[in-house]
Amino acid sequence: MARSINGAVLPDAPDLARMRIERHARLQAQMAAAGVDALLLLGTNPVAYATGAETPGADSGRAGLMRPVALVGAGDTQAHLFTSYPEGAPADLAEDHLHPALYPELPDGAALAADALAGLVPAGARLAVDELPHPLAAALGYYETTGASGVLGPARLVKTADELACIRGAQRINESAMARVQPRLRPGVRQNDLSAWFLEAIFDLGATGNGIDPIWQVMPDCRGDGPWTTHGDVAFPTASFDRILRAGEVIWVDTGIDWHGYASDFGRTWLVDPLAPPSARQAAQFRRWDEVMAAVLSILKPGVTALELGRAAIDANGGTRPWIEHFYLAHGVGTESAEMPMIGTDLGDAFDDRMVMQPGMVLVLEPVIWDEGAGGYRSEDIFAVTDDGWVALSDHPYDPYGERSW
């Protein structure tokens, strides 16, 4: 199978400078198509996409108040970056595009931000914004603003080969960390012990950030034994704490880290007790999961629709939808941990029918095989659509359940 993506070979290591240039070109093309004079970005991940700047991971409160800001002018060669963390700016960012931090969440900060932007964007310009905190909206009254999703969405939907290498690099760190954590799992270990081992490992292995508090959710045998849900389906993912894990318990593991602005997504089902192998029903759950994956992958290539992929998964699961009501069979991953394309959400069949796979799209396939009375199996693997098929960006065993067939 050819591994090219729009003619480019998936490199072993990303060329970050080339990646920034190619992303910038995509943003410029979408801005031109949308008739936007400038793109003002405040979201953590959109700024990372537009500038390539790295920012220390932070909880949402700090990340909001101390947010880096990007301004992309139509026709400009680079994005302007306003940041408290210039050490994270790419080395090739021109000095006149690197600016002190703005504080658009605060009334006085927003006034200063408007002054800074006024020097770069003429009054009356058509400005696309992803977020517009009230103070900044008040201070920017003289621009015509529109949403940035029409620019960001199409630009980010299809990845460059270097972006795919970043996702694979993030996933390798995540997987290597899990290879250190899983052997330590046994009855008496607490969820937060697993988190401690995981977090220490990811930074030792070179992660640039942690994206989500690690999830080690104990799954019930029956839906009704788990938390109440609005739809009656399984609750997942729920936050970890100091729950002591016990023999006989099954945990669904879900973690995500950051590497050069790209997210990993690791999902596996583990058994707490290393001395007890999977039961016959548990083993059958895994085989069914593997069959669903194989069915989807057998038709995954450019031109197939999300709807067709979802139906292949349902057929392989005997007509039952193999994913949780509030989620999906698959989601994309990139600078966001979950982004388009998505398959099987409540956006509906018509949406999925319009979502046609293209080379460079990424799918995190995460079928859930629920076996009422005996819990369920869930694992995630990441694939990129290539010019004539797919390539896996994840590679991790399924212990103690068995081996994949595809």
Partner 1 sequence: MVITAGPGAAALPEGGRVDFARLRRERRARLLEAMGEAGLDALVLGRPANITYASGARQLWTAGARPFGPGAVVMAGSGEVHLLSTWDDGVPEEISHDHLFGLSWNPGRIAANLAAIPGMASAARIGTDGWSPGAGSLITSVAAGAEVVDAGPALAAARGTKTGDELACLRTAAAAAEAGMTALVEALRPGVTERQLMGVRAAAMARLGLPTPPMEAAACVLGSGDEAAGGGHAGAGGGAGGTPVRLRRLVSDRAAGAGDMVALTAGALYAGYEATLSRTWLVGPEAGSAGSASAGQREMAARARALCDERVAACRPGPVSGRLGPHEWAGSEPVAWGVGLGMEPPLLGAGLGAGTVLAAGMTLVVQAWAEGGPGGAGGALEADAVLVGAEGPERLTRFASCPALRPN
Restricting to residues 198-237, name those near partner 1 by CB under 8 A. Answer: 199-204, 206-207, 209-213, 215, 226-231, 235, 237
Contacting residue, 315, 346, 353, 395, with partner 1 by CB under 8 A: 346
Identity of the residue, 79 or 215, whose beta carbon is nearer to partner 1 in the bound complex: 215
Would you state the structure tokens that stand for residue 161, as one six-digit string? 């080969």
How many whole angstroms from its chain centre is CA 208?
A: 15
Sheet holding 330-332, edge to edge: 339-343, 330-332, 362-365, 381-385, 390-392
Q: How far is the CB of 132 from partner 1 (least distance, A)?
A: 5
Identity of the residue, 278 or 341, whose beta carbon is nearer to partner 1 in the bound complex: 341
CA atoms within 13 A on the CB side of 286: 21
Report yes or no: 300 and 357 within 8 Å, Cβ to Cβ. yes
Contacting residue, 190, 287, 301, 404, with partner 1 by CB under 8 A: 190
Identity of the residue, 278 or 367, whose beta carbon is nearer to partner 1 in the bound complex: 367
CA atoms within 13 A on the CB side of 89: 23
Of 103-142, binders to partner 1 (CB under 8 A) are: 103, 105-106, 108-109, 112, 129-135, 137-138
Q: Which stretch binds partner 1 (CB under 8 A): 24-32, 36-44, 153-161, 303-311?
A: 36-44
Helices (H), 255-344: 280-299, 306-316
Of 234-253, binders to partner 1 (CB under 8 A) are: 235, 237-239, 241-242
Query: For residue 379, what are the contacts with CB-CB under 8 A and spacing of at least 6?
Result: 267, 268, 269, 289, 366, 398
Identity of the residue, 58 or 283, whose beta carbon is nearer to partner 1 in the bound complex: 58
Q: How far is CA 135 from CA 37, 139, 314, in A?
A: 22, 6, 48
Peptide bond into 227 cis (omega under 30): no
Q: Compose the 285-324 pattern: x for residues touching partner 1 by CB under 8 A, - for all others.
A: ----------------------------------------
- Cα–Cα distance measured from residue 34 to residue 288, given in angstroms and rounded to the nearest whole number: 45
Q: How far is the CB of 5 from partner 1 (least distance, A)?
A: 26
Would you state the structure tokens that stand for residue 199, as one six-digit string? 């977090």
Interaction between residue 176 and partner 1 (CB under 8 A): no
Q: Which stretch binds partner 1 (CB under 8 A): 156-164, 272-280, 340-348, 369-377?
A: 340-348
Q: Is 50 helix (H, G, I), strand (E, B) or coil?
A: helix
Interaction between residue 326 and partner 1 (CB under 8 A): yes
Q: Which of 183, 218, 217 is nearest to 198 (CA)?
A: 183
Q: How far is the CB of 200 from partner 1 (least distance, A)?
A: 4
Q: Could you please report the per-residue DSSP string of 166-205?
A: HHHHHHHHHHHHHHHHGGG--TT-BHHHHHHHHHHHHHHT
Q: Which residues pair with 295 in a beta bridge?
A: none
Interaction between residue 369 and partner 1 (CB under 8 A): no
Q: Which of 398, 330, 393 is nearest to 170 (CA)?
A: 393
Q: How far is the CB of 42 from partner 1 (least distance, A)?
A: 7
Identity of the residue, 203 or 398, whose beta carbon is nearer to partner 1 in the bound complex: 203
Q: 10 Å Cβ neighbour count for 142?
A: 12
Q: How far is the CB of 159 from partner 1 (least distance, A)?
A: 20
Identity of the residue, 12 or 95, whose beta carbon is nearer to partner 1 in the bound complex: 95
Q: Compose the 42-61 pattern: x for residues touching partner 1 by CB under 8 A, - for all others.
A: xxxx--------xxxxxxxx
Of 56-95, binders to partner 1 (CB under 8 A) are: 56-67, 84-91, 93, 95
Q: Which stretch binds partner 1 (CB under 8 A): 22-30, 118-126, 189-197, 378-386?
A: 189-197
